[in-house]
Structure 1
Amino acid sequence: MSLVDAAFINLERRETPMHVAGLMIYELPPDAAPDFIKNLVRRFRSPVKLGAPWNQVLAKAPLSRLAPAMTAVSQIDFDYHVRHSALPAPGGERELGELISNLHGVWLDRSRPLWTCHIVEGLEHGRFAIYLKIHHALADGVRCMRFVEACHAMTPDQAIRAPWDGTPTTKRKPCAPADPAMTPRLGLGDVAAAVRHTATSMRWSRDHDPELIRPFSAPRSKLNGYVTNARRVATQQLEIDRLKRIAKHAGVSSNDVYLSVIGAALRAHLSAQDGLPDRSLIAAVPFSLRQLGDDANGNQVAFSWATLATDIDEPAVRLNRVHASTFAAKRHIEAMPAPLRPLLTAALAAPATLAGAAGLTQWLPPPMNLVVSNVPGPASTLYLGGARLEALYPVSIPMQGQVLNITGVSYGRHLNVGFTGSRDALPHLQRLALLSRTALDELERAYEN
């Protein structure tokens, strides 16, 4: 298990469960039988021989607390792992949001494989949902997308497949990873090297690259409070064509536009609560280190830092500021030796994560205000046993000291954005989701004019 994967196990607490999830919303087939959902549940509960990560449990060993490892089990209780729920009437977004918020705050049982799947019927307009939860030590965002793609078809005439169907029962040899640092030989000395390199480059950037955002330069804000295990989940869809059109006009990337939209929404949301810092909020932005075709389990990700320009009111000026910081971050990462890139994440996250686990976040400057990520998903329409996948939302992890996570997944024509927050620390999360659409409208008008 890599340093990052092990951290997700060792730093897990009841207040901060370290699982991620996908919320998939479907339209029933036009000719669906009355027992379509019942048959779907039966199919998902059908015993099959599972491969990693679906058959993995934490190994019980003397040093498991220091060096956690996974071991395979042969017997899986599918009735436990596959749950069947129904929403109360009217089965709208509110009822679904409350259910998913409650489910996402519940720990995964460490004596069993670290995943559960909930099939939810009763959504309005003839729809149903699947909420698939898996421990973050077993999969990063890109790997989770592979699970989604594995159980769907591109035509509606295919039989039902579960996400774990077809998973190799023996671990497939992955292609050569993009970074040698992803091998298990790495240790604390490599992390120290990453720290030294980062410190040197950050000192140089103070004089030569002022747009580069440094870790621990974020202002303290309402987003850096204490997290309980009570969750609030909200969702929003942003049209990818609109993001691309603005990006083309502005000469920036679509991800810059996305970050600017999130910055504008946070500015409006915190201003309404009299909680907007004078200095801009800072986001940690993950990027994948996987090579094309790499299906290895676990996490292959590193982080860069970007301003959200929440101290700027004018949309176009905000976007230019965001772009300047992401461009500087890209230069910094490309100049870093490839083996050190994933270790940078462990090195920079360790102090804040350990402080959060010990309840000491109020004594340290926050390394960032929140995580904002963007995961590429399927471009074509997908089907599950004839049911069309309407939307695919990520549900992620708030951490101690970072009470909000915002993750987007592209699917078809939309960027599906999941807002996952600590219910007690960040109220009115759905309002923030609505403000992101308002922010996109304002940015679009700025470039139309």
Structure 2
Amino acid sequence: MRGTMGTQEAVTARDAVFTPDAQGPSLRVRRELLVGLLLFALYALVTRLPEGGRTATARAHGEAIFNLEKALHLDVELGLNGWLANQSVLRVLANYEYAITYIASALALLVWLFIRHPERYRTARNAFILLNLGGLATFALYPVMPPRLMPDLGFIDTVMQGRTWGSWGSPLVEHADKFAAVPSLHMGWTLWVGVELARVNAKRWVQVLNAVHVLVTLYVILATANHYILDAVIAVPYVFAAVFVAERIARPAPVRAEGPDAFFLAVETPEAPQQAGGVIMLDTSRKDVGRDDLVRVIGERLGGLPRFRQRLVRRGRWRRPVWRDNRRVDWDWHVTERRVDGMPGLRAAVAELQSQALPLDRPPWRMVALKGAEPGRTAVVYLMHHVVADGVGIVAQAVYLMDPPPEPFTGRVPRRPFRKALATVIGLGQLAVDVAPPDRLPAAGTSERRFSTMHLPLATVRDVGRRYGARVTDVVLCAVAGALNRVVSEEDGRPGTCRVAVPLMMRPPGSAMVGNHTTAVMVDLPIGKMSETDRLALISKRSRVLRSGTRAQAAWTVMWQAGRLMPAPLHARFARMAYSGRFLQGTVSSLPGPDKTLRLAGAPLTAVYPIVPIAPGTAFAIAGLGVDRELCFGLSLDPGLADDADVLMDAVRDVIEELRDGPE
């Protein structure tokens, strides 16, 4: 959004989107096929071990297992094998089941995970590889002759008896390792399939079908005399160990909350919840959007939204909290739906949601579909804790859920270390003289909030700026200052000036959607009695500090380095002191938004009203978001400043219209 607040480094929400997997699908398929071929080659090496020296050992191991089963009264194989050998049709079906279904089910699961659950595929694939590596190592070190090769014990080779073409153990595949009985990989593969189906919460009928397959496989490997029952039992710890190790390998080191993120966690109080987001207005005149649609969309794109799947874990007073994966998403809490009575009801609902701090025992986000705000419209309130990301990052995560998908940033970020160092030094000197405490605005200091919205054509605000030789930033700041003059009287405690924080984006293009990359520069707004043209001229002069870049760079360096170098308790105290009514009385922000029509769950967006948290001890926070030629405002208000947020928002509009209609 050209002309709105920010520095040269401010980026659009589109550019801030992070692409989770940059590899092309064809490259990944070739890689997975190569892994499979390598595993098969390793198996081929085991099969080429000389049989002469292994036969006697394998027979001894087989007899030992069978004798142990008889001592434990588990030797059911002879009875099952003798019955099946006399069933001509079932015998052939069992032979083919032994040869085919365990391979088919494992390959089908891998392909399904690769396509439908890529976030789970790599861990499942690694578990499968580890399971097979464990089995191959055991085959080489502890060969076991299967029952079918010991007819003197009474077993019948159903494959050879039935001349089953192509089945395991037939002449067509006699290259296979004859002594690969312990563990039973037939049981191992089918049990592994069941574990992975449970991990991705597959449909119940699919899991039941696999459970039946496990039981059928158990019967077949015993009745065809390919395995002892202890072979199947021993497969269980192999599966458990493979899955356990794969999970540990896949689990990344805990991601620590960086200093700028922990900053917003430290300043949060029960009276000042720190959650940001927006009210997304959807045109649902042709296609309704409800809770189930939102759950479906988020579920489909959950893999690219890490903080939607993670919770923040505190590790004591002296250590930074870390992000850990949450085992499941509590959809009933995260995504809800309710009805409201018109736009007043919507604003009241948003104020209520904004006043409730997001609990940190789960991923810190919520989405609420509000029906009834306007005819043919559905409002979606999207909230995320400020510890996750700055305003641009939160916008980017919302855009990630929409269509068309954002284009990843492919440019190069310029490096200017000398310029940044010089700007930091100059900015630190400027900040050193900007330490006078501001005048106070009346505020109740409770978590209760008022919320209001407004949208104007972006062209209108730009035209006002051009008329007076000012920027859009200046026009918005003037409108806020003029509105405070009109709504808050001197008798109610209105001071002559109001210091506001203007957040500026320091996010490099193409950076990930998570993490805070903002700084803030303070501007003193004249809110006493004067003409709006004089007020705009004075603000235009004072707001030059926003465009120099030196204060912004210095403040960002202090914020980042303080989080890195200070012990956690000292950093928390620094954050609470710097971001409070001690140094500011309000927040005026502007966020770059999408410059094209987007759809959420198939419904086009008509407006997005930003929700910005109020800093502790301050009176208000207002933000504008550019959305497809519209400038959408969201106002969060402490009721101690004004009981009706609509009155203050209407005053903002009145000031802009007065400037628009003023002298040429």
Structure 2 length-normalised TM: 0.54
Partner amino acid, structure 1, of 2:401: C
Secondary structure, aligned partner of 1:264: helix
Does the aligned pair in 2 maintain the 1:45–1:78 contact within 8 Å?
no
> How far off its partner does 1:215 sit?
4.2
Does the aligned pair in 1 maintain the 2:427–2:551 contact within 8 Å?
no
Does the aligned pair in 1 maintain the 2:291–2:336 contact within 8 Å?
no
Q: Deviations over 1:223-276 (max 9, x none)?
A: xx3521212111111221111112112222111111111111111111286432
Q: Deviations over 1:342-370 (max 9, x none)?
A: 549989x977853599xxx8xxx831221
1:104 maps to 2:322:
no
Match of 2:336 in 1: 83
Q: Deviations over 1:366-398 (max 9, x none)?
A: 312211111111122222243221110111211
Match of 1:263 in 2: 481
Partner amino acid, structure 2, of 1:96: L
Secondary structure, aligned partner of 1:268: helix
Higher relative contact order (CA 8 A, sep 6+): 1
Secondary structure, aligned partner of 1:294: coil
Match of 2:520 in 1: 303
> How far off its partner does 1:44 sit?
4.5
> How far off its partner does 1:92 sit?
1.3
Match of 1:143 in 2: 393
The separation in 1 between residues aligned to 2:457 and 2:634, in whole angstroms, is: 14
> How far off its partner does 1:123 sit?
2.5
Match of 1:405 in 2: 621
Secondary structure, aligned partner of 2:543: helix
Q: What is the 5 A alignment of 1:40-439? A: 40-41=293-294, 43-44=296-297, 46=299, 49-50=302-303, 51-63=305-317, 66-87=319-340, 91-153=341-403, 200-202=429-431, 214-222=434-442, 225-271=443-489, 274-277=492-495, 279-331=496-548, 333=550, 340=557, 342-343=559-560, 354=576, 366-424=582-640, 426-439=642-655
> How far off its partner does 1:285 sit?
0.5
> How far off its partner does 1:298 sit?
1.3
- Structure with the bigger percentage of strand: 1
The separation in 1 between residues aligned to 2:537 and 2:283, in whole angstroms, is: 39
1:25 maps to 2:281:
yes
For the structure 1 residues 49 and 127, does the alpha-carbon distance in structure 2 shift closer, same or farther, using more than 3 Å as the test?
closer
> How far off its partner does 1:422 sit?
2.5
Q: Deviations over 1:44-72 (max 9, x none)?
A: 57577544111121125345x64122122
Match of 2:166 in 1: none
Identity within the alignment, %: 23
Q: Deviations over 1:87-109 (max 9, x none)?
A: 2xxx3111111111111111212
Match of 2:259 in 1: 3
- Structure with the bigger percentage of helix: 2
Does the aligned pair in 2 maintain the 1:283–1:369 contact within 8 Å?
yes
Does the aligned pair in 1 maintain the 2:441–2:641 contact within 8 Å?
no
The separation in 1 between residues aligned to 2:615 and 2:302, in whole angstroms, is: 35
Match of 2:25 in 1: none
The separation in 1 between residues aligned to 2:298 and 2:399, in whole angstroms, is: 19
Does the aligned pair in 1 maintain the 2:259–2:562 contact within 8 Å?
no
Between stretches 51-60 and 110-119, larger displacement belongs to 51-60
Partner amino acid, structure 1, of 2:605: L
Secondary structure, aligned partner of 1:265: helix
Secondary structure, aligned partner of 1:373: strand
Secondary structure, aligned partner of 1:282: strand
Does the aligned pair in 2 maintain the 1:216–1:366 contact within 8 Å?
no
Between stretches 300-309 and 421-430, larger displacement belongs to 421-430
Secondary structure, aligned partner of 2:290: helix
The separation in 2 between residues aligned to 1:329 and 1:344, in whole angstroms, is: 21
For the structure 1 residues 335 and 238, does the alpha-carbon distance in structure 2 shift closer, same or farther, using more than 3 Å as the test?
closer
The separation in 2 between residues aligned to 1:391 and 1:80, in whole angstroms, is: 25
Structure 2: tracts of 5 or more residues without a match: 1-256
For the structure 1 residues 326 and 414, does the alpha-carbon distance in structure 2 shift closer, same or farther, using more than 3 Å as the test?
same
For the structure 1 residues 45 and 376, does the alpha-carbon distance in structure 2 shift closer, same or farther, using more than 3 Å as the test?
closer
Secondary structure, aligned partner of 1:108: coil
Structure 1 length-normalised TM: 0.78
> How far off its partner does 1:414 sit?
1.8
Q: Deviations over 1:183-206 (max 9, x none)?
A: xxxxxxx9xxx7x97563356x7x
For the structure 1 residues 351 and 80, does the alpha-carbon distance in structure 2 shift closer, same or farther, using more than 3 Å as the test?
closer
Does the aligned pair in 1 maintain the 2:428–2:555 contact within 8 Å?
no
For the structure 1 residues 216 and 401, does the alpha-carbon distance in structure 2 shift closer, same or farther, using more than 3 Å as the test?
farther
> How far off its partner does 1:178 sit?
7.4
For the structure 1 residues 273 and 407, does the alpha-carbon distance in structure 2 shift closer, same or farther, using more than 3 Å as the test?
farther
The separation in 2 between residues aligned to 1:345 and 1:433, in whole angstroms, is: 36
> How far off its partner does 1:324 sit?
0.9
The separation in 2 between residues aligned to 1:38 and 1:296, in whole angstroms, is: 24
> How far off its partner does 1:399 sit?
2.5
The separation in 2 between residues aligned to 1:174 and 1:76, in whole angstroms, is: 35
Structure 1: tracts of 5 or more residues without a match: 155-160, 181-189, 206-213
Does the aligned pair in 2 maintain the 1:352–1:366 contact within 8 Å?
no
Match of 1:186 in 2: none
> How far off its partner does 1:152 sit?
2.3
Does the aligned pair in 2 maintain the 1:404–1:420 contact within 8 Å?
yes
For the structure 1 residues 133 and 273, does the alpha-carbon distance in structure 2 shift closer, same or farther, using more than 3 Å as the test?
farther
Match of 2:237 in 1: none
For the structure 1 residues 240 and 14, does the alpha-carbon distance in structure 2 shift closer, same or farther, using more than 3 Å as the test?
same
The separation in 2 between residues aligned to 1:368 and 1:337, in whole angstroms, is: 18
Does the aligned pair in 2 maintain the 1:395–1:420 contact within 8 Å?
yes
Partner amino acid, structure 2, of 1:243: V
The separation in 1 between residues aligned to 2:578 and 2:344, in whole angstroms, is: 31
Q: Which protein has the larger Cα radius of gyration, Structure 1 or Structure 2?
A: 2
